[in-house]
Structure 1
Amino acid sequence: MPGQGSQYQGMGTGLYRDVSAFAAIIDEVFELMGRAGEQLRSDWLAASPELPVDHASRSQPLLFAIDYALGRLLLDRGLRPAVLLGHSVGEMAAATLAGIFDLPGATRIVGQRVGQFTLVPPGGMAAVAASRAEVEPYLRPGVDVGAVNTPRQTVIAGADEPLRTIVDALRQAGYTCAAVPSTVPFHSEWLRPAVDPACSLLASLPANPPRIPVVSGYTAGYLTEAEVKDPRYWAEHPVNPVLFWPALARLAEAGPHLLVECGPGTSLTTFARRHPDVRSGRCEVLSLIGPAASGPAREAEHLAAAAARLGVSLP
């Protein structure tokens, strides 16, 4: 399940229009979010939204809602995945589908996180075509490694000015850098003030053993009972780096697998295609919605083809 950076304008809106079962599930998520959910849905469907989809108050809850709704759609039709893996906020969707949190609790967690982002200085993220070891010598206070997506794609995150300085230095050293769509420096120490408030909320919510195994995108291991029950493990997600590539390697060990990108776009599918088990044919990849460039009009077509590949039928 993808996370921050995978969002794009109009994502999922074609499914909302054309697939009634998907619309019913995502409406359930919006309703649980209350007034914020009404505003989120209105902006999501608007031709000219009040806030762009890259704004954290839009991208984070929408990514959670779409990831969850797509996963529920397939689970409701009898699909039983061997394991779940989420990237960034995608892990909260995975945890909800696995039954660790119920949907009302998960929407409260996501909503509380979004409320804390107003306390963070303006910042962003950048993807660097380099290994973590190559990037780390360039880091300075105010910028952290935010994600390890592939052996040669490392995301850095920080406040605007120090991030810009480090990106310039990396480019001068010959590294290719690209902005990751985000208005918040996710997975950096700038999010540390959000941890304690999140711990208080998480401590008040039940957390159950997963009904489906979950590989953590933060430890690159299977979620343990202690981690599931630990509010700080979940509260520190916005601070800690996403270790997608090591987590994918752990997941692939138990293969062969069909790796299904359960969310908007094809970013995780693109990363996974670089894995040796995918290149060798031991594992395959499948995107449910297809590339962003296909647009909302073709989402239902992509989903129907993916469902057929998975052996499930859609209404």
Structure 2
Amino acid sequence: MTLSNSIVTAPSTQVAQVPQVPLAAAETTPRLPVALMFPGLGDHYLDMGLELYRTQPIFQKNVDLCAELLKPELGVDIRDIIYPNRASSPAPVAPAAPSKGIDLRKMLGRDKSANAEEKNAPIHRTCYTQPALFVVEYALASLWRSWGLRPDAMIGYSLGEYVAACLAGVLSLQDSLTLVARRAALIESLPPGAMLAISLPEIQVLPLLGTHLSLSAINAPELSVVAGPPEEVEALERRLATDGVASRRVKSSHAFHSRMMEPIAEQVTQLAKGYTLKAPRIPYVSNVTGAFITEAEATDPSYFARHLCQPVRFFEGISQLLDGAERILLESGPGQTLSSMVTQHAQTRAKKPVVIASMRHSYDPQSDVAVLHKAVSRLWQGAASLDWDQVPQSALAANDTGPRPEAAAPSDTEDKLGAIWKKTLNLETLDRDVSFFDLGGNSLVATRLIFRISRVFSVKISLRRLYEVPTLADMAKAIDALKSGSEPAKATKPAPSQPGKSALKPRLQLPNGLHVTHQNEAETRHFYSDIFDHRTYAKNGVTIEPGACVFDVGSNIGLFTLFAHTETKGNIRIFAFDPAPPIFEILSRNVAEHGINATLVNCGISNRNAEAQFTFYPRSAGMSSFHPDVAEEKHVLRSIMRNQRQVGMADVVDQVADYTEELLDARFEAVPFTAKLRRLSDVIREYGVEKIDLLKVDVQKCELEVLEGIDDADWSKIRQVVLEAHDVDDRVHTIETLLRRHGFSVKTEHDEMYEGTNIHNIYGVRA
């Protein structure tokens, strides 16, 4: 059955005509082509599109057609799987009104009364899920086609590519349904698997996979999906949580697009060989290559096996669509996941595409018809290339441009919040009644929004609360309630961290061309400027000569160690110390990568051998301390930014600003470690150190304790001392006196960047 005769259309007498005024207006605007997007598994749910089945004749007839074609293959009526209660009396269809928020309890799986039936529904069995999703997406595309939509391009995500292939004429509807059903049965015969979305780019995910995990999808520059055995995925999830990398489980029964699919790959190839495969009549993007599929690929039976096992290159595919002709992207299937990913992908582009979803999430309280009508409205506003004569009058009601009831003027909070939304989502205009998540927001973007809200309004709104009040107007009201104290803040507790387990960290190319692994880009750039550009540690008579021995106490990720290594062209011996396991791991990587002759010690240096609580800030490792003081640290960061602006370093301020405010917002999201403390003289004896050409100390309020851990007999081995001192209880004077007593010429300076703080640099040089 070909595409042209497989889509059931309604008689023209059943279609209401569009008013002439909107038509005349539309004709004055150039029409834009539309690309259809078909989602994969994950957003499916019981009764998806039930209202469309009850109210849209074209949708219903195509669902019925698919169900009849599938009966011999499945042995059941797929309508009984998707719509088990379709015969009951339908509820009245709600008008296309703005959403008032999502059903959070349902989204989180806590609505036990509503979820009990769905949790155990047959639709979640792979052998039914995939045919069911195909049927709904095909029926919705058929509805759009009946309204004159002729896509100029398509992209499907995973199973969604089968819908695109069918609509493009590669497979007939009968063959598509049979192949999807038999493929699903083969997958169900495999061992169960799991999938995990990770906020890391492909290049950083690949080293984490090991033997059993596979890269399953690349959805964005820093959003990948991994699949494999459940226990392996769970172990990786724990490892990522330990290291502070965001991840979330994907709703899935098997490890799709992974090596766990390989046992059935040849069977899928043999299945595809049994069908007539034709060249696509409508261009669509391949998941396998991320480019438009070729005739050779579409007609090669082995392509379907590669599609089964290889990762979905959705990000590359969307780039292919956006880099081509200007077009509207319309998601044709349950949920709005693809729309959200595309919207985020398009943020960096000068011209933003129109991205539209046409079905609701399972936890969205809007009616199916309301969401569909809203999509029609946005297609109208975007000048989509549809046959508006065929679009029902009711669907165009949302385009009414007549006067609306006068709404209350936006509050000051809403105005400020709107500016934050525009910055976060990269938007020029906003509708106060549109959901943040409809505009491309997701959980990771929402985290950035929370930081900015905290910065501007001095309140902490939780991610869960954000989902409860997703529109601009409602979110502003929630912020006002938090400010007045009438609504309790619901802070989230960070996942506990454990030493010794971490994911691959991000990498950065420094201005001098060297690459380093790091924890926070803005912080790393700030420290680089301090060490390499301003050469803070290489002035006031302090030198680092070839053959020197350097003790780097408070090494952090090792930028000073790297500086000393490059200054001496590698002819140096370094002892580097840091107490925080996550930072110590990064230090180890950087030392190994650059071939530095360094002895690394995972401990803090103090005046005693003991264990102590170390407060580690993942977002600001340089401010981590054995003596944390939140108020002082906030003051220091604000002062640095103010001073940089005063001396004309706006570019540096721009780099550090996000880091600083993120730190202030997330200051209490600390990770505690029990760290080992050692006296410096004990280390000197353990390693038989005879001389220390430079002792560099940067240890956040522990500098005096470091010096007190040096025995009198060892002071003569030290030629130079450079340290950062916090002048608490006259500490600077105490350190100056101590150094002079041991024969050092001492100079203390208050760097212009630290004006207004108690931080001083002290330089001690022995004659």
TM-score, normalised via structure 2 length: 0.39
Question: 1:28 maps to what in 2?
Answer: 65
Letter in 2 for 1:229: T
1:43 aligns with 2:67: no
List alignment gaps of at least 5 residues for structure 1: none
Letter in 2 for 1:187: H
Question: 1:57 maps to what in 2?
Answer: 127
Single out whichever of 48-57 and 169-178 deviates more from structure 2: 48-57
Provide closer, same or farther for how the CA distance between residues 181 and 314 of structure 1 changes in structure 2, counting only shifts above 3 A.
Answer: farther
1:74 is aligned, of 137, 141, 144, to 144
Question: 1:9 maps to what in 2?
Answer: 46
Letter in 2 for 1:220: G
What is the CA deviation profile of residues 254-307 of structure 1, one whole-angstrom value per residue up to 9, with x for unaligned ones? Answer: 132211001111000000011236864431100111343324x61112213323
Letter in 2 for 1:119: S
Letter in 2 for 1:16: Y
2:325 is aligned, of 247, 250, 255, to 255
Single out whichever of 61-70 and 244-253 deviates more from structure 2: 61-70
1:93 is aligned, of 157, 163, 178, to 163
| Aligned counterparts of 1:7 and 1:225: Cα–Cα separation in 2 | 31
Q: Are the counterparts in 2 of residues 67 and 93 from structure 1 also a CA contact under 8 Å? A: yes
1:219 aligns with 2:289: yes
| Aligned counterparts of 1:280 and 1:11: Cα–Cα separation in 2 | 35
Q: Secondary structure at the match of 1:34?
A: helix
Q: How does 1:172-183 map to 2 (within 5 A)?
A: 172-183=242-253
List alignment gaps of at least 5 residues for structure 2: 1-37, 86-116, 394-767
Q: How does 1:151-190 map to 2 (within 5 A)?
A: 151-190=221-260
What is the CA deviation profile of residues 187-239 of structure 1, one whole-angstrom value per residue up to 9, with x for unaligned ones? Answer: 11111122111111211211111111111122111111110110010133221
| Aligned counterparts of 1:283 and 1:115: Cα–Cα separation in 2 | 38
| Aligned counterparts of 2:235 and 2:122: Cα–Cα separation in 1 | 26
| Aligned counterparts of 2:59 and 2:374: Cα–Cα separation in 1 | 16
Give me the CA root mean square deviation: 1.9
Question: 1:125 maps to what in 2?
Answer: 195
| Aligned counterparts of 2:188 and 2:352: Cα–Cα separation in 1 | 44
Q: Secondary structure at the match of 1:156?
A: strand
Letter in 1 for 2:65: E
| Aligned counterparts of 1:171 and 1:164: Cα–Cα separation in 2 | 11
2:303 is aligned, of 233, 239, 244, to 233
Letter in 1 for 2:290: A
Q: Secondary structure at the match of 2:40?
A: coil
Letter in 2 for 1:43: I
Q: Are the counterparts in 1 of residues 258 and 309 from structure 2 also a CA contact under 8 Å? A: yes
How many Å apart are 1:173 and its aligned residue? Answer: 1.9
Q: Are the counterparts in 2 of residues 142 and 163 from structure 1 also a CA contact under 8 Å? A: no
Q: How does 1:129-148 map to 2 (within 5 A)?
A: 129-148=199-218
| Aligned counterparts of 1:124 and 1:151: Cα–Cα separation in 2 | 22
How many Å apart are 1:37 and its aligned residue? Answer: 6.7
What is the CA deviation profile of residues 10-64 of structure 1, one whole-angstrom value per residue up to 9, with x for unaligned ones? Answer: 3222211221210110111111111527343212223636535443223211221
Letter in 2 for 1:6: D
Question: 1:196 maps to what in 2?
Answer: 266
Q: Are the counterparts in 1 of residues 196 and 226 from structure 2 also a CA contact under 8 Å? A: yes
| Aligned counterparts of 1:291 and 1:272: Cα–Cα separation in 2 | 17
Letter in 1 for 2:330: V
Q: Secondary structure at the match of 2:329?
A: strand
| Aligned counterparts of 1:149 and 1:206: Cα–Cα separation in 2 | 31
1:298 is aligned, of 354, 364, 367, to 367
How many Å apart are 1:186 and its aligned residue? Answer: 0.5
Q: Are the counterparts in 2 of residues 70 and 263 from structure 1 also a CA contact under 8 Å? A: yes
Q: Secondary structure at the match of 2:147?
A: coil
Letter in 2 for 1:44: I
Question: 2:314 maps to what in 1?
Answer: 244
Question: Identity across aligned pairs (percent)?
Answer: 30
Q: Are the counterparts in 2 of residues 85 and 214 from structure 1 also a CA contact under 8 Å? A: yes
> Which structure is richer in relative contact order (CA contacts within 8 A, separation 6 or more)?
1
2:176 is aligned, of 89, 99, 106, to 106
| Aligned counterparts of 1:124 and 1:44: Cα–Cα separation in 2 | 23
Letter in 1 for 2:64: D
How many Å apart are 1:72 and its aligned residue? Answer: 1.7
| Aligned counterparts of 2:81 and 2:352: Cα–Cα separation in 1 | 41
Q: Secondary structure at the match of 1:275?
A: helix
Q: Are the counterparts in 1 of residues 134 and 163 from structure 2 also a CA contact under 8 Å? A: yes
How many Å apart are 1:115 and its aligned residue? Answer: 1.1
Letter in 2 for 1:152: E
| Aligned counterparts of 1:213 and 1:10: Cα–Cα separation in 2 | 31
Provide closer, same or farther for how the CA distance between residues 88 and 314 of structure 1 changes in structure 2, counting only shifts above 3 A.
Answer: farther
Letter in 1 for 2:48: M
1:208 is aligned, of 245, 261, 278, to 278
| Aligned counterparts of 2:134 and 2:81: Cα–Cα separation in 1 | 16
Q: Are the counterparts in 1 of residues 46 and 121 from structure 2 also a CA contact under 8 Å? A: no
| Aligned counterparts of 1:279 and 1:30: Cα–Cα separation in 2 | 42
Q: Are the counterparts in 1 of residues 39 and 156 from structure 2 also a CA contact under 8 Å? A: yes
Single out whichever of 185-194 and 298-307 deviates more from structure 2: 298-307
